[in-house]
Amino acid sequence: MPVQALLGARRAGSLTVMTLLLAPMEGLLDFVLRDVLTRVGGVDRCVSEFIRITGTLLPDKVFLRYVPELQHGSRTLAGVPVRAQLLGSDPVCMAENAARLAALGPEGIDLNFGCPAKVVNRHGGGAALLQEPEHIAAVVAAVRRAVPAHLPVSAKMRLGFNDTHLMRECAQAMQAGGATELVVHARTKADGYRPPAYWEHIPTVRAAVSIPVVANGEIWTVADAQRCREVSGCDALMLGRGIVADPGLARAIRAADAGQPGADTVVWADLVPHLAAFWQLVCDDLEPRQRAGRLKQWLNLLRRRFAEAEVAYQHVRTMTDQRAITVWVVDLQARAHSAKGA
């Protein structure tokens, strides 16, 4: 069932079930981590890292590099759909690239109006467009016209650039352009990633549009998810760093939502095989210079949730040799298996 239909079906029932999306995070939540996290379970849909559109028509190989799932029906190996995200400010160029991307069969196309990076904003992309609602509407409309009618076009925004005074207008511009869903990262560009996330502003956005709205920002725990749902009024949440730090977060949220808190907890021994799978994928698919760093990056975030990850991180922190790390991963798996069977 398409995600939009799934949202509607869930709302139509007597109990509204959370829809949980996996966020795009440049340099962190790429196709490798999408693969592993969706194997852990609980996620309904993913969004790719942004594909930056400047002044050229990109070849297929670029789209496939960012979203290799396009070669598998736009789904991860666990069967979770992946929506491809584009970032750019020129309506014509965005439309041309969206049309080429659409020919590759994505689950949908998402448009990034939230990236706070200076290098992106300096060229008028990402969150910079939150200062120009009319420009946003033009970009969304151009993409909507360029792709098949059945293909969802969604958008992600922040609450604003320096402040929130245009958040309603920006959301309305996205809907007017033809967006079928809106993810709201509940911070401004000026807020960056500093806590807190201002979920209390999301009801204002929801009231301004009639399309589904997804809440995003600072959801690290089940309690955060429950509070975000209550404050924002959203039944769909997007998880980012929180699910990277606790890969079982989506499953835990679902268990709590079903009245069974703690029933589907992922412990370290459960996670280790996924960590090993991640390392194998990193070695298979990424450049040698990236491999050790990617493992350390994930372990660093896992320290927030698992005491064992602190020990693991300290062990590999200074390691660079791929063979030595592989030996360590194999040993880690053996010890975890032994501990689980004890």
* Residue (of 43, 36, 41, 35) closest to 273 by Cα position: 36
Residue 257 · residue 18 · CB < 8 Å: yes
- Give the span between the Cα atoms of 243 and 45, in whole angstroms: 13
Confidence of residue 292 (pLDDT cuts 50, 70, 90): very high
Condensed to tens digits (0 to 9), the pLDDT of residues 313-335 reads 999 999 999 999 999 999 999 98
CA distance 201 to 198: 6
CB 163 within 8 A of CB 114: no
pLDDT of residue 261: 84
Mean pLDDT, residues 177-188 taken together: 98
**Which amino acid is residue 154, in one-letter code?**
S
Residue with tokens 């280790």: 272
115 as an active site residue: the answer is yes
Determine contact, residues 296/316, Cβ cutoff 8 Å. Answer: yes
pLDDT the model gives residue 281: 95
Average pLDDT rounded to a whole number, residues 43-59: 96
Q: Tokens representing 134?
A: 């009319």
Residue 211 has pLDDT above 80, yes or no: yes
Q: By the 8 A CB rule, do 97 and 88 touch?
A: yes
**Count of alpha carbons within 13 Å of 211, Cβ hemisphere only?**
21
d(CA 219, CA 226): 9
Structural domains of the chain in order of their starting residue, each with its CATH number: 3-257 (3.20.20.70), 268-337 (1.20.225.30)
The position carrying tokens 């420009």 is 135
> How large is the C-alpha radius of gyration of the chain?
20
Residue whose tokens read 């350390």 = 296
- 215-to-136, 191, 254 alpha-carbon distances in Å: 20, 16, 16
Q: Is the pTM of this model over 0.85?
A: yes
Q: In the beta sheet, which residues pair with residue 213?
A: 182
Chain-centroid distance, C-alpha 189: 18
Name the token pair of 9: 């079906």
Q: Are 168 and 106 in contact (CB under 8 A)?
A: no
pLDDT band at residue 12 under the 50/70/90 scheme: very low
Greater pLDDT, 128 or 302? 302
The pair of structure tokens assigned to 270 is: 């459960």
Q: From the DSSP assignment, how many helices (H) and strands (E) are in the chain? A: 15, 8
3-class state of residue 333 by DSSP: helix
Contact (CB, 8 A) for 101 and 65: no
46, 115, 170, 234: the catalytic one is: 115
Residue 210 makes CB contacts below 8 A (sequence gap 6+) with 175
Percent of the chain whose predicted confidence (pLDDT) is above 70: 93
